Structure 1
């Protein structure tokens, strides 16, 4: 396995890396390409120090945004929903009320904070447990690549 600094990352993956670095500086732990349920894959899910759950969708181009027909289904999995884009992205395409993060492969900045939409306690507990189990599975997979799927 090559170190992340030398392997090729796709544009959306670079945005996700910059977002995760920025949110880590604010004590949020992030997981990329997290699946909260079958058929849904979040670009970045972030778990805050007080248990808050944020979702960030990374869009590298106009075509990437306009071809995404599933993003509204991700709202139920977050208390704050953000778009992460680069400096060249036409931000007027993004829906009002959602958060906005300007990012690149090295860092990010939150430009617009969306309103907090509290999540039901049962959903929060189930999602936090799934996040923890997935993170542990991924860590195990790094130590033992023969262990199978990370969950």
Structure 2
């Protein structure tokens, strides 16, 4: 079996990890979404947060911890083909005006988050949704297996 990607990417800044925690808490508690951190996508990208809603809807949240982090990232449009809604998430101190008005926006800290601007819904094609849900099912099961039996890699 191939080595699994880490559940938490050690390349993330402490600020990004705090935002990630708040976003995942918010989506779970306020919207009944189940969240995955650091999900590799078939196009070689990695989603910071990928959330699955109670009706099978898929949201991706791309976390930006600073102005420079946002300015150097031009890969974010590549996430939109893998979700029904795409959001940026930022820490409270980051200016929300740097983000495109056409995209969803969340603000989060280590405790909670909020939606500042709802993302446009662009439903996934059925075949892509099925592939994503199958991928997430297997990824979740593999992550649980590693937690239960870390020596079986």
1:63-85 CA distances to partner (integer Å, 9 max, x unpaired)? 11111121110111111100110
- Counterpart in the other structure of 2:138: 133
Q: For structure 1, which runs of at least 5 residues remain unmatched after alignment?
A: 1-8
- Counterpart in the other structure of 1:41: 46
Aligned match for 2:109, one of 104, 109, 121:
104
Q: Distance in 2 between matches of 1:60 and 1:147?
A: 35
Q: Distance in 2 between matches of 1:90 and 1:111?
A: 12
Aligned match for 2:16, one of 7, 12, 30:
12
Q: Distance in 2 between matches of 1:137 and 1:42?
A: 17
> After alignment, is 47-56 or 36-45 more displaced?
36-45
Q: Distance in 2 between matches of 1:49 and 1:74?
A: 21
Q: CA RMSD, aligned part only?
A: 1.4
- Counterpart in the other structure of 1:4: none
- 3-state SS of paired residue (1:39): coil
Q: For structure 2, which runs of at least 5 residues remain unmatched after alignment?
A: 1-12
Q: For 1:57-68, list aligned pairs within 5 A.
A: 57-68=62-73
- 3-state SS of paired residue (1:118): coil
Question: Cα offset for 1:147?
Answer: 2.4
Q: How many equivalent residue pairs?
A: 141
Q: Distance in 2 between matches of 1:17 and 1:147?
A: 28
- Counterpart in the other structure of 1:124: 129
Q: With structure 2 as the length reference, what TM-score do the two structures score?
A: 0.88
